[in-house]
């Protein structure tokens, strides 16, 4: 019989849905499972999308987002939290309030503003709320280059600019930031940049041919949360997430005419 006080690691994703399973909370749950972590999920918006197109987006009500969080908290507190697409300013504020009110772990914040297909998933007010309300609560923020440019309010066109942007993002209140370098055209490797206010660490990996895959950002942030749920340090969690995404991307595949999909259960 299962113990009512299970030590099994639990991670919570607060994100939008992807019916194709390549991104969003479906991909987060696959990532958690692949890394041996039980997954909780709170849905913020229903997105009609596939690997290459977003057709429609409908936000869940604030009340229902809050009810999902409150009901999960009645059962147990997750060991780690990851946020993804949060739909609008009111949901961002509600999630931030719930993290404080329910004393949830400092979240891994994936500052999703635009889908990989180019569709905007949150408006300017929501972006400002992420900066002012959510990032100050974050254990780590995981922007790609375009997202980091928005958060830091500057152009990033060099490694020196990445360092400056990381410093500016950290000043928003997060404990750490990792700027993903996959969008850089001037880097032969896929280098991510981790900064925690003390150490600036380059995390190099092979640049895998094929133009990337749908949902890599979701998987990366979810993998960080999974490793944190298992007790890893922030730096070790980021390194583990880098390995996970690299392995998943090496084994990526296509199901139709769209973009490649990660194999979340791939092994080296």
pLDDT digits (tens, 9 = 90+) for 236-252: 999 999 999 999 999 99
Q: What is the pLDDT of residue 119?
A: 65
Question: Which residues have a Cβ under 8 Å from the Cβ of 176 and sit 6 or more positions away?
Answer: 139, 140, 141, 170, 194, 195, 196, 197, 234
Rounded CA separation 169/1 (Å) = 47
CB 77 within 8 A of CB 102: yes
Q: What is the pLDDT of residue 6?
A: 66
How many structural domains is the chain composed of?
1
Helix (H) or strand (E) segment spanning residue 146: helix 145-152
Q: What is the pLDDT of residue 208?
A: 83
Q: What is the pLDDT of residue 7?
A: 78
Q: Is 4 contained in some domain?
A: no
Mean pLDDT across the chain? 92
Write out the two tokens for 152. Answer: 């830091």
- Taking 60 as the threshold, does the pLDDT of residue 4 lie above it? no
Q: Is 267 contained in some domain?
A: no
Domain extent at residue 98: 10-250
DSSP for residue 166: H
Q: Is 146 contained in some domain?
A: yes
Q: What is the pLDDT of residue 2?
A: 53
Q: Is 27 contained in some domain?
A: yes
Rounded CA separation 199/235 (Å) = 10
Rounded CA separation 30/28 (Å) = 5
Output the pTM of the full model.
Answer: 0.94
Q: Percent of the chain at pLDDT above 70?
A: 93
Q: What is the pLDDT of residue 25?
A: 96
> What distances in angstroms separate CA 94 from CA 81, 211, 264, one per listed residue?
15, 36, 30
Q: Is 266 contained in some domain?
A: no
Residue 95 vs residue 267, higher pLDDT = 95
Q: What is the pLDDT of residue 211?
A: 75
CB 145 within 8 A of CB 181: yes
Q: Is 203 contained in some domain?
A: yes
Q: Is 124 exposed, middle or buried (0-12, 13-18, 19+ CB in 10 A)?
A: exposed
Q: What is the pLDDT of residue 186?
A: 55
Rounded CA separation 264/205 (Å) = 18
| 187 band by pLDDT with thresholds 50, 70 and 90 | low
Q: Is 96 contained in some domain?
A: yes
Question: How confident is the model over 116-134, as pLDDT tens digits?
Answer: 666 677 888 999 999 999 9
Question: How confident is the model over 139-183, as pLDDT tens digits?
Answer: 999 999 989 999 999 999 999 999 999 999 999 999 999 999 865
CATH of residue 90? 3.40.1190.20
- Taking 90 as the threshold, does the pLDDT of residue 220 lie above it? yes
User: Residue range 42-47: average pLDDT?
Assistant: 96
Question: How confident is the model over 49-90, as pLDDT tens digits?
Answer: 999 999 999 999 999 999 999 999 999 999 999 999 999 999
Q: Give the lowest-confidence range in 37-51, 88-102, 210-224.
A: 210-224
């Amino acid at each position: 019989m299962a113990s009512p006080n299970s030590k099994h690691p639990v991670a919570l994703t607060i994100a939008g849905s992807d019916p194709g399973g390549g991104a969003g909370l479906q991909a987060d749950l696959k990532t958690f499972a692949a890394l041996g972590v039980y997954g909780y999920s709170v849905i913020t918006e229903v997105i009609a999308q596939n690997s290459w197109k977003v057709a429609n987006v409908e936000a869940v009500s604030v009340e229902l987002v809050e009810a999902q969080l409150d009901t999960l908290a009645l059962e147990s507190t997750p060991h780690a939290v990851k946020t993804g697409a949060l739909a609008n300013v009111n949901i961002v504020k509600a999630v931030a309030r719930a993290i404080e009110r329910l004393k949830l772990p400092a979240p891994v914040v994936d500052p999703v503003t635009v889908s990989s297909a180019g569709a905007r998933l949150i408006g300017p007010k929501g972006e400002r709320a992420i900066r002012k309300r959510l990032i100050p609560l974050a254990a780590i923020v995981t922007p790609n280059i375009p997202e980091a440019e928005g958060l830091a309010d500057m152009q990033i066109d060099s490694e020196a600019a990445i360092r400056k942007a990381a410093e500016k993002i950290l000043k928003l209140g997060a404990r750490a930031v990792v700027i993903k370098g996959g969008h850089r055209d001037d880097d032969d490797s896929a280098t991510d940049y981790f900064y925690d206010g003390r150490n600036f660490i380059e995390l190099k990996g092979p640049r895998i041919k094929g133009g990337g895959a749908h949902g890599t950002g979701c998987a990366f942030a979810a993998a960080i949360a999974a490793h944190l749920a298992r007790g890893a340090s922030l730096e070790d969690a980021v390194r583990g997430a880098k390995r996970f995404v690299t392995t998943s991307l090496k084994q990526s595949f296509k199901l139709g005419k769209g973009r490649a999909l990660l194999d979340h259960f791939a092994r080296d």
